[in-house]
Amino acid sequence: MKLTLDDGVLSIERPSESKDHKSLHGLYRSLINNMIIGVSEGYRKELELVGVGYRVSNTGQLLELSLGFTHSIFLELSPEIKVETKMERNKSPLIILESCDKQLLGQVCAKIRSFRAPEPYKGKGVRFVGEHVRRKSGKTAASK
């Protein structure tokens, strides 16, 4: 791949029209675009904790999650990620993550979500704000 910068416009040229070069061309274009958007605007993800007794707090870059287990989960976040937590009465606790690195932000969100993924029967767990969880009906009463 050949990168050229002309008058503030970065362009990528591929050496040939082979399938490998075409796929790498799209990949590099996407990665560079994500870096530019990350530096200029930044990325933001919001996670909500749905469930009775689920709590979250942070002290600096240390995130403490209480998700119904016998112990709290502590997660040390990298310095590239800015974290904020909100606990309001009668609302689900929120975790707000901001970063300029899209890949790192998505990986951290996936890690937090993996501690307690939303389950389909009661809908409890860690989910993204605005995410819809398909619910199942569960057991029905046996008729005699």
**What is the mean pLDDT of the segment spanning 109-133?**
91
**Residue 144: which pLDDT band, with cuts at 50, 70 and 90?**
low
pLDDT recorded at residue 141: 55
**Residue 125: which pLDDT band, with cuts at 50, 70 and 90?**
very high
pTM above 0.85, yes or no: no
Sequence-distant (6+) residues with CB within 8 A of 125 are: 49, 50, 51, 113, 116, 117, 118, 119, 133
For 30-61, write each residue's pLDDT tens digit: 999 999 999 999 999 999 999 888 999 999 99
**What is the mean pLDDT of the segment spanning 131-139?**
85
